[in-house]
Chains A and B, each alone.
Chain A
Amino acid sequence: MITGGVRVLNAGLPLIVEGVPAADVVQLDWRPPAFGDADLARLATGLDDEVTEQANARAVAAVHAVRPRLVRVRPAREVVPGIADGRTLLHAGPPIEVARMCGPMLGALIGAALFEGWASDAEDAEARLRSGQIAVSPCHHASAVGPMAGVLAPSMPVFVVEDGDRQAFASLNEGLGKVLRFGAFDDEVITRLAWMRDVLGPVFDEALRGGGPVDVTALFSQALAMGDEGHNRNVAATSLLTRRLAPVLAGLPSGIEVLEFLAGNDHFALNLSMAGAKLALDAAVGIEHSTLVTAMARNGVEFGLRVAGTGERWFTAPVGPADGLFFPGYGIEDANPDLGDSAITETLGIGGFAMAASPAITRFVGGTPDDALATTRSMRRITLAPHPAFPLPPLNFAGSPSGIDVLRVLDTGVLPVINTGIAHKQAGVGQIGAGIVSAPAEVFGQAVVALHEARQARGDGAR
């Protein structure tokens, strides 16, 4: 009567299937779904149908089809939409009022205002920010992303990555130490930013004209095979990028200066990784009914999540400090709550999701290669498909788990992991550690409620 014979998945008490031949039973390690919220579990299951499945298949195919190419490095004002209107600065994470910002982000905005010449001193800059004379807006709203504070000003050079007629942008990485993205804004920082504007940007752009465009997907695919994970370890990608452009750079005026800068900045390629990931994920924004996550970002106060089927809406929850390994002399009490747009890499399926590729990083964030493999494997449980362009050797060259599915997160209770650097809570002190954080559970619950409402609204409209 049962076509295919009685073959059982048992969710619950083993005694229910006591009489079934053991070979015909798979015992599930069932746990309460949706973090224990039965109503939410019901909503999530209600969405888990053919409509969602097809929408997700379209969404993940669209993301995987994007092949970002690094074509130019241009001043932000020329390319980033909206940044040249009035006095506007962009920042990391979901939207936030200046009054609620954390120290490093406010510091970075002050630095950017000084860098643009919009204020006479730090006090003046802060007053102008607080009064709204200088407007702020998330990078994500302008097809851009930035690590840590993620502050972007019109004069700063940005990577321009494109695929067809679509573009995404990211700032250039300043290196470690006293840097704007950790909220520092003294002369040393401003001087470096000016050099980046006047020398690094134009020279790099010139080099790209000769040696570009650079296939970003191919670059990071190769870097993953060389021990990077594309978020916290970028030494391979930076080296590959440098090698690619070195012959041209070496022949340009100030080219050696630029090469020296690249030689001293292991994280230079991070921002390129982020821009590529942003471009890829933007391909899925607005795909109706899709439960694919298109952005995860932190502003130092809140964690923000965006989902394809709910377009540009943010789901937010308070974010705490990352608990990781701290540099000597620092501890969690010094740490700023988690910060930056860099979780866009995990959203695509690299960074924390590709931990298995990067034995070196596991030591840095605490843990072992075995933990790393377990992390990558557990991310498979919440993602839609392996990324075809990112095969990982420790997974027998299966692709890195890619495309976070809100429904799978609720179903399993497994939260996306994010590799992160840890910023000091005081502006300008810089990085004090690194670790692994999980996205907060609440945002996934909010997303399911919103997706459900969207489905109801459309359903009612159709009737």
Chain B
Amino acid sequence: MPSVHLAAPQRVRVPTGPRPWAVARAWCIVHVGQSAIILSAGSDDAAARLMALTSRRRGLVAGGVCVPDDDDFGALARRLGATTGSAALDVNLDAWSAIPAAAIATVDLQIGPIAVRPEAVELFTALLRAENGAAPAGAAMDPRPVRALAGPLSRAALARDDRRIARLLSRLVGVGPGATPAGDDVIVGVLAGLDAAAGSLVDEAVTRVARDALGARLRPLLARTTAIARHDLTAALAGQYAEHVQRTVAALADPAAVPAAVAAARGWGATSGIDLATGTSSALARLLRRPDHQAPSTPDPEHRRSA
């Protein structure tokens, strides 16, 4: 099979852990876009690993490589873009192993300790409510019914109601518009919300139980969605989130940053950013209503039943 040797970029940013390009010898091109190039290790295997090379604007994603220099990124996209339409090509990244350590910035994609402020969550929720007031322009399939499940999913997860979790996940995984179906974005958002709240709004044990409950029911369903969504979900289950998710979550510590964060979310994909943010806000709003958070709570029947 012919292969394309990709020259190493000047500088890269990668997640902590093994270098993403080192996990496979040969890569296939899945997609070459304006701000992301998606490669896959191995070919048709449903468990194939994906690696996203992203531009500075898109930011680093889990298991990916961010090429912060726009010219560098453009050169990669052009080189690979020029090959689409030809027969299957291997992409060879051998040259990348020579990238000097000084040119590699390592980024921790775990959601760090964040002092989530209730008023920021309220503002975030209010802005998203406004966002969900109308169907997104140009969307042939309305993502809002899927987003509406974010609240119930958060509640079920916090209540460890396994049957309800399974029922909701089956209506979310792989469902909705987009290459990462909206439902999957919502789930990633809920997980991010739980991780953001851990240790600030509630005790970490509370969120751990909830994300474990979600994980147990989610893993068997992963084959029901696209490879890219599966990649995102798997990373989120491992506590890894793309930088743009991190930025959204960080805004929850500062109400002043919230409007900009929602505006930014509007710009990812057709609906993905708002799908994900809706998941996050739902999870946090549920947590704020729990009795072990000091804010006045409304009785939560699901919680009472399992407590």
Residues of A within 8 A of B (CB): 323-325, 331, 363, 365-368, 371
Contact = CB atoms under 8 A, between A and B. Distances in A.
13 contacts: A323-B71, A323-B74, A324-B78, A325-B78, A365-B78, A366-B75, A366-B78, A366-B81, A367-B78, A368-B81, A368-B82, A368-B84, A371-B81
Given A323-B74, A325-B78, 13 more contacts: A323-B71, A324-B78, A363-B82, A365-B78, A366-B75, A366-B78, A366-B79, A366-B81, A366-B82, A367-B81, A368-B81, A368-B82, A371-B81
Interface string B268-303: 000000000000000000000000000000000000
Interface of B: 7, 71, 74-75, 78-79, 81-82, 84
A325 B74 CA distance: 11
Contacts of B74: 323
A21 to B, nearest CB: 13
Contact of A331 (B7, B82, B84): B7
Contacts of B78: 324-325, 365-367
A323 B82 contact: no
A325 to B, nearest CB: 7
Contacts of B84: 368
A368 B75 CA distance: 13
Contacts of A368: 81-82, 84
Contacts of A366: 75, 78-79, 81-82
Contacts of B71: 323
Interface residues of chain A: helix, strand, loop or mixed (majority): loop
Nearest to A365: B78
Contacts of B7: 331
A332 to B, nearest CB: 9
A11 B84 CA distance: 39
Nearest to B32: A368
B148 to A, nearest CB: 23
Nearest to B78: A366
B132 to A, nearest CB: 16
A367 B82 contact: yes
Interface residues of chain B: helix, strand, loop or mixed (majority): helix
B260 to A, nearest CB: 11
Contacts of A324: 78
Contacts of B75: 323, 366
A368 B82 CA distance: 7
Nearest to B259: A15
A367 B75 CA distance: 10
Nearest to B134: A22
A167 to B, nearest CB: 40
B12 to A, nearest CB: 18
Question: Which of A324, A325, A365, A368 has the most C-beta atoms of chain B within 10 angstroms of its own C-beta?
Answer: A368
B13 to A, nearest CB: 21
B36 to A, nearest CB: 16
B75 to A, nearest CB: 6
A244 to B, nearest CB: 34
A403 to B, nearest CB: 27
B57 to A, nearest CB: 14
B281 to A, nearest CB: 19
Nearest to A22: B134
A428 B97 CA distance: 35
A324 B71 CA distance: 10
A358 to B, nearest CB: 15
A323 B75 CA distance: 8
Question: Which of B71, B75, B78, B84 has the most C-beta atoms of chain A within 10 angstroms of its own C-beta?
Answer: B78
Nearest to A371: B81
Contacts of A367: 78, 81-82
B256 to A, nearest CB: 14
Contacts of A323: 71, 74-75
Contacts of A331: 7
A27 to B, nearest CB: 11
A368 B74 CA distance: 13
Q: What 7 pairs across the A-B complex have the smallest Cβ distances?
A: A366-B78, A366-B82, A363-B82, A367-B78, A368-B81, A323-B71, A367-B81
Nearest to A436: B78
Nearest to B74: A323
Nearest to A363: B82
Nearest to A14: B263
A110 B291 CA distance: 87
A363 B7 CA distance: 19
A437 to B, nearest CB: 11
Nearest to B75: A323
A366 B79 CA distance: 6
A384 to B, nearest CB: 28
A325 B79 contact: yes
Contacts of B79: 325, 366
A262 B74 CA distance: 36
A173 to B, nearest CB: 26
A404 B84 CA distance: 33
A453 B71 CA distance: 35
A365 B82 CA distance: 9
Nearest to A435: B78
B77 to A, nearest CB: 8
Nearest to A332: B75
A23 to B, nearest CB: 12
Nearest to B80: A366
A365 B79 CA distance: 9
A73 B75 CA distance: 41
A371 B33 CA distance: 11
A397 to B, nearest CB: 26
Contacts of B82: 325, 363, 366-368
B124 to A, nearest CB: 16
A132 B82 CA distance: 47
A399 to B, nearest CB: 27
A325 B6 CA distance: 12
A100 B91 CA distance: 42
Nearest to A331: B7
A302 to B, nearest CB: 20
A165 to B, nearest CB: 46
A24 B29 CA distance: 44
